[in-house]
Structure 1
């Protein structure tokens, strides 16, 4: 899996962000996510992708169309040749996590999503 390529594309997209969604935030989220993944024996690669991509379609940064369609996340994973099955798992997680989605009744169902939600709550 080309995780370094994904990280580079996320960097290019978010590096100039001043709203708190830049790479410093992404790296903190990634570090905490990997700690949870290790503790819970979750798939490290999928957790890494979720952590890296969690803000690349944030509606506050990229608009509702991107947020609803995961435009940037899908493009990045496709560009980096991420397996289609893994892309589907990551998109499912991305569609079900986040504070605003929680307010709308979306709730994580998979362990990796629950891990991610826990660390997001700890970060925000």
Structure 2
């Protein structure tokens, strides 16, 4: 298998696994992360093929989608072994994937890991990030907003995570994109509270 065929196999694998997923971690989320990661990798002179493969696989086995159990290393290894990928490359991909998640709090140890993490975080902010936030909240049966008990609401996730992401970007390419998307989060919240508190 050449590199193009391997990446095509990864794309088909992800499409089969994630099409129709309803928490905001669907195939199209992963495709957007791949496209962002490829663009950033080119601008940052990173290993583009490694970045693309890790981006395709970054949500495989994620604990959020597996009842709180992280199966990423196991499932990614099984898939890449089927493609006869050298173990050295498999370990690099697993290392990158293990450093992507916000909740795990792992710091990226390579440029490629920084890029995939940035690309994933960019998809969590801006208009699509807002839509994904409410999709995930709904899947967890969270209230949209409850001013009497804000900690349990989807809006609280803006403060717990989304509004922090702009300042956590690593690459200059991602930082530029994040600035605009962050402003949109702030504008959305301002409008949300304005409408919520409107008096008849």
TM-score higher than 0.5: yes
5+ residue gaps, structure 1, are none
Give secondary structure in 2 for the equivalent of 1:19.
coil
What pairs up with 1:1-124 in 2 under 5 angstroms?
Answer: 1=3, 2-63=6-67, 64-67=69-72, 70-102=73-105, 106-124=106-124
**How far apart, in 2, do the equivalents of 1:25 and 1:114 lie?**
18
**How far apart, in 1, do the equivalents of 2:120 and 2:29 lie?**
10
RMSD: 1.3
Decide whether aligned partners of structure 1 residues 65 and 115 sit closer, same or farther in structure 2, where only a CA change above 3 A counts.
closer
Question: 1:6 touches 1:80 (CA, 8 Å); kept in 2?
Answer: no
Relative contact order (C-alpha < 8 Å, sep 6+): which is higher?
1
5+ residue gaps, structure 2, are 125-200
Q: How many residues align?
A: 119
Shift of 1:16: 2.7
Q: Which has the larger radius of gyration?
A: 2
Deviating 4+ runs (over 4 angstroms):
none
Which piece of structure 1 moves more, 7-16 or 44-53?
A: 7-16
- Report the structure, 1 or 2, having the larger helix content: 1
Question: 1:50 touches 1:90 (CA, 8 Å); kept in 2?
Answer: yes
Deviations 1:88-115 (A, max 9, x none): 100111112211111xxx2101001111
Give secondary structure in 2 for the equivalent of 1:108.
coil
